[in-house]
Structure 1
């Protein structure tokens, strides 16, 4: 039985979290995304430390590449779902700011 490296384990954890982020984004459950993003960031930081120190065998390397491909697909999906929401939020904030500026200049509507 092959021993799973810590690097492969971290990529597996990262893939699981990014997959969950994609699922939540599809369901427009935005509230949990920041927490998962922070967990992903911590895993990436851990990988930066581990990866240079660990040598993977060919099977582990293949598994790592498979996980990275899965992570990229899920990340692309999350970005595709979140970006329009952010643009919409920015547009709403801009509209509110414009209303506030007009309110200051001309007073409240009658």
Structure 2
């Protein structure tokens, strides 16, 4: 009986997660590709972000990063594993500041 209740609870959490993902899928901020597993991940929200500051690049794209920045920190989810280093492109002011440099290194 306890197993059935736990299974039902896990199923509800899974369905809730799908609903949240579907709601976020409208506004895309770009994408990244994980080196370790080769999957593509689309940015739909700005979570777990921090920046290092340099004079070259402003970070207007992410509200939590005051001042200029050189690098973004995102966590890349490859199924059951988390990988720290990803390559990709993003939409925002830093991409405009560095025209012609589409690949950006994201590190956790």
- The bucket for the TM-score relative to the shorter chain is under 0.3
TM norm structure 2: 0.27
TM norm structure 1: 0.27
Give the structure with the higher percent helix. 1
Give the structure with the higher percent strand. 2
Name the larger-Rg structure: 1
